[in-house]
Amino acid sequence: MHQPNYLRPLFVLLLLIGSIVSIGCRQDTAEPTPAPAGAVVMGLLVPNNISFFTTLTAGAEDAAARLNVTLQVRQANDNLETQQTQVQEMIEQNVDAIIIVPVDTEAIVPSLEAAQAAGIAIFTVDRSANSTAVIAHIASDNVAGGRMAADYLAETIGDTGNVVELTGIAGTSAAQDRGTGFNEAISAYPEIKIVARQTGNFNTEEGKQAFASILAEQPDITAVFAHNDDMILGAIAAAQEAGRAEDIVFVGFDAIEAAVTALESGELDATIAQQPAEMGRLGVETAIQYLHGESIPSFIPVELALITK
């Protein structure tokens, strides 16, 4: 059985700053286009303004300032129609590239293909889109991260117990991949039972509400895994209000600042560390490289690590 490497929360900032980003070695690379005339203008479209995406945006803005790129940032409040309208806005502005974290992996495809037809280079970050319009995808291996969470959780509870899974937004690749990895790995532990699975839509308050309802129905819960830290922090709050937090192992995903604080206080047991600022930086830099005629890989992975209390 694969044993994940554990990192302590005091070292997570060193991890996020110092991790080496390995570039995918796939042979299918995108064909470059000529460098755009004049100043480069890009759109950065994110689903919402939770901590993960504000950090990703900050990384992209830093890279844009350094590279003299005009970056048009939009957030969609997790609304597909809003994001579709934002893509259309970028088409009308005739931007050179769109960097997007899709609200919905499938439903955003026609909008991206319309942007491609208008001559705009398309890049996805964190969440993928199932379209050949996408030149490159920059993300963590979310399936591997889900497996990492499952193995840690199983080891921590002694390979036996009742487990809850709080899932993200159903139409996103992040939720799908993290859930796939987690459930594939957890199935190797026959004494662990998934007693409840409910969505919290990557939102703290919805995660709290979802876990509160599960707590009311399930008298025996050993551990909970949430597809992101916002939901796991909500679950911790619900468990604390129910007086059951001390009896449950909590595992999240993303290593946002609030989660690292919860690790240090002992409220959270573990989280899978992503590098959202690095994703934003790479999104802008990859787009520039492509626009300047360089060949780039179709997938650029960003490393993950497990951090524990």
| Domain CATH number, residue 183 | 3.40.50.2300
User: Do both 160 and 87 map to the same domain?
Assistant: no
Number of domains in the chain: 2
- Whether residues 126 and 41 share a domain: the answer is yes
Residues 170 and 129 in one domain: no
What tens-digit pLDDT sequence spans the chain (309 residues)? 444 455 565 445 444 444 433 333 333 445 444 444 468 999 999 999 998 999 999 999 999 999 999 999 999 999 999 999 999 999 999 999 999 999 999 999 999 999 999 999 999 999 999 999 999 999 999 999 999 999 999 999 999 999 999 999 998 999 999 999 999 999 999 999 999 999 999 999 999 999 999 999 999 999 999 999 999 999 999 999 999 999 999 999 999 999 999 999 999 999 999 899 999 999 999 999 999 999 999 999 999 999 998
Is the same domain home to 230 and 195? yes
Give the range of the structural domain holding residue 245, as residue numbers without chain letter.
Answer: 142-273
Question: Is-above-0.75 flag for pTM?
Answer: yes
Is the CB of residue 251 less than 8 Å from the CB of residue 269? yes
